[in-house]
A and B are shown apart, each in its own frame.
Chain A
Amino acid sequence: MRRRRRRRPRLWRVTILVLAAVFFLGPQVSALRYSFVQSNGENGLGNYTQLFHDSALGSSLVTSLEIAALTTVIMLALMLPTVVWVRLRLPRLAVVVESISVLPIVIPPIVMAAGLATLQSHASAQISSVIFTSPLTALTPFYVILAMPFAFRSLDVGVRAIDLRTLVDAARNLGAGWTTLLLRVILPNVRTAILTAASLTVALVLAEVVISETLLYDTYPVELVNTGQNLVGVAVALSVLSLAVTWLLLYMVSFIGNRDASRARIGRLL
């Protein structure tokens, strides 16, 4: 008696997948089509190339990228050693450190902005000129705080996935100092976690508008909104672009690091 089994597509699955496809892809497709309508009424890539012509947009993008890079570096330099140290030496403090790293979530960005604005107004002239003049120095330290919950989680997952204790003991036994340990032994093994944390940080910085707008700094998202007042087509085009790039970034990260132990766990994050 031969029986061939085929999974009949179940109604409840099909319904939601179709609904989701329409609801989520709909606006994106609309935006894509809209983006090809230039301000002169014709179809073309004008809205996209505007990025290169508009100096305000271009320079704000550069600024944001600089902030993103610096934030990522500081974030890694601060968080990776902390995560390693906690997992290695102070496992009982892990819960405490984890809770602290989640703390920034309790402060809505707008409230953080309010606090920063007040901070700025109370700061002395000297501090102001040193720190608060340039967005690079003013925003970066606080962006690190914003990125902390996600970054900590990614790094922690990655560090927990490798046999940290054994690696460290073996390396120390062979004579490695702490810097070598961190850079040559641990880092390569948590590449995926680092890449994920870095990607999330960069994406966060490039999307952060509330704080930078409230403090009147000219970052890319702020400039994007400004552009939207007059040149909606350009704003839409750049929005489509940024969503696509962010998605590509996250999608690629889920593939990188095939030999990484942390990869399997990272998949859960996304």
Chain B
Amino acid sequence: MSAVAVHLDRLTRRFGALTALDELDLDVAPGELLALLGPSGCGKTTALRLLGGFDRPDAGRVMVGGQDVTNTPANRRDMGMVFQAYSLFPNMDAHRNVQFGLRMRKMGAAQRKARADEVLDLVGLADHAGHYPYQLSGGQQQRVALARALAIEPSVLLLDEPLSALDARVRNQLRAEIRAVQQRLGITTLFVTHDQAEALSIADRVGVMHDGRLEQLGTPEEVYDRPATPFVAEFVGTMNHVAGRVLAGGRLEVLGSSLKAIGADGQQQGGMVEVLVRPEALEAVADEHGHAIVAERTFLGSLTRMRVTLDDGADLLIDVATRRGLPEPGARVAVRVTSEDALVSGPSTP
């Protein structure tokens, strides 16, 4: 079965005075996993629900595989949906849960059973087919939910924060499995999450949403390295705000280094601008004549995060790979930028 494309055409949805979606325009390529990322209330779940048919837009169209399905009810759209939690039917065991969609499509009993066995095996739960939801762990329940959604061979897979209710270890494991299954089946997928690490790790493309609008749409690297708006910069990963001076030839002076400026158009030479730098793009080296002091050092496993205070009062976060000999709290250090370019967010606020 070949994958389909999804096109959300200027979708608008209002709830009373609140505009949940403001003319959202989004394309999902066939076989692609697109993650919609954003804080609560940004409209990502609303968009998903509109695509699934669980809600009707106030304006705009939903196109799947070239067809306009805006007016098609949810039970006639060919989609598989995985909810955040609690979506398994409690009165049926895993096997019958998975068969449900097939039953609705009037598939014969033997065929249903074979197909259900197949997908349960795909998600690694063949042994638990006879278990009821209350007998399954959170992670297992979500796997069954995924199997149930895939059993009907949908043209689009919808995932509404499927990992948010699980604990960290299970989350990471299941995340990779979902991605593996999705790629193997080549199914067009829309994945909604508020966890940026999740979005960055599994998506082909990430759409960052805020207040009902798409702030940026791009590959994980693009969204992370070249955030298009301050919101995206802050939401995806951590950002330091540093002062930089505009030099000639499209370069900036930041913390003593000369860097290529990005987004510095229109800034006056010699003027001060605010620059965004990732913690992993900084380095702190012990130096008696340095211009900063280590305020705090936090061990995070493979990473160590240091908070240093510059002499002019500003605080910076620096992430380095954990090793011995890192500067202690209280030590005087010199801070340098290790990347080649710097993202300008705007003129310096006095």
Interface residues of A, Cβ cutoff 8 Å to B: 1-3, 5
Q: Is B332 an interface residue (CB 8 A)?
A: no
> Which of the four size classes fits the interface of chain B?
under 10
Q: Is B56 an interface residue (CB 8 A)?
A: yes
9 A-B pairs whose Cβ atoms sit less than 8 Å apart in the complex: A1-B59, A1-B60, A1-B61, A2-B58, A2-B59, A3-B56, A3-B57, A3-B58, A5-B56
What A residues does B58 contact at CB under 8 A?
Answer: 2-3
**A5 CA / B16 CA spacing, docked (Å):** 12
Query: Interface residues of A: mostly helix, strand, loop or mixed?
Result: loop
Which 5 A-B pairs have CB atoms at the shortest separation, nearest pair first? Answer: A1-B59, A2-B59, A3-B56, A3-B58, A2-B58
**A1 CA / B60 CA spacing, docked (Å):** 7
The smallest beta-carbon distance between B214 and chain A, in angstroms, is 21
Give A1's nearest chain B residue, CB to CB.
B59
Give the residue among A1, A2, A3 with the most B Cβ atoms within 10 A: A1
The smallest beta-carbon distance between B210 and chain A, in angstroms, is 25
* Residues in B46-67 with C-beta less than 8 Å from chain A: 56-61
What A residues does B60 contact at CB under 8 A?
Answer: 1
What A residues does B57 contact at CB under 8 A?
Answer: 3
**Apart from A2-B59, A3-B58, what are 7 other A-B pairs with CB-CB below 8 Å?**
A1-B59, A1-B60, A1-B61, A2-B58, A3-B56, A3-B57, A5-B56
The smallest beta-carbon distance between B208 and chain A, in angstroms, is 27
The smallest beta-carbon distance between B103 and chain A, in angstroms, is 26
**A1 CA / B10 CA spacing, docked (Å):** 11
Give A5's nearest chain B residue, CB to CB.
B56
Give A4's nearest chain B residue, CB to CB.
B58
**A3 CA / B56 CA spacing, docked (Å):** 9
**A29 CA / B113 CA spacing, docked (Å):** 60
The smallest beta-carbon distance between A252 and chain B, in angstroms, is 31
Give B57's nearest chain A residue, CB to CB.
A3
The smallest beta-carbon distance between A49 and chain B, in angstroms, is 51
**A264 CA / B325 CA spacing, docked (Å):** 56
The smallest beta-carbon distance between A4 and chain B, in angstroms, is 9
What A residues does B61 contact at CB under 8 A?
Answer: 1
What B residues does A5 contact at CB under 8 A?
Answer: 56
**A2 CA / B58 CA spacing, docked (Å):** 6
**A24 CA / B190 CA spacing, docked (Å):** 51
What B residues does A2 contact at CB under 8 A?
Answer: 58-59
**A3 CA / B71 CA spacing, docked (Å):** 11
What A residues does B59 contact at CB under 8 A?
Answer: 1-2
**A42 CA / B57 CA spacing, docked (Å):** 63
* Residues in B293-325 with C-beta less than 8 Å from chain A: none
What B residues does A3 contact at CB under 8 A?
Answer: 56-58
What B residues does A1 contact at CB under 8 A?
Answer: 59-61
**A2 CA / B60 CA spacing, docked (Å):** 9
The smallest beta-carbon distance between B13 and chain A, in angstroms, is 11
The smallest beta-carbon distance between B16 and chain A, in angstroms, is 13
Give the residue among B56, B58, B60, B61 with the most A Cβ atoms within 10 A: B58
What A residues does B56 contact at CB under 8 A?
Answer: 3, 5
Give B70's nearest chain A residue, CB to CB.
A1
The smallest beta-carbon distance between A194 and chain B, in angstroms, is 33
**A1 CA / B43 CA spacing, docked (Å):** 20
**A1 CA / B70 CA spacing, docked (Å):** 11
The smallest beta-carbon distance between B8 and chain A, in angstroms, is 14
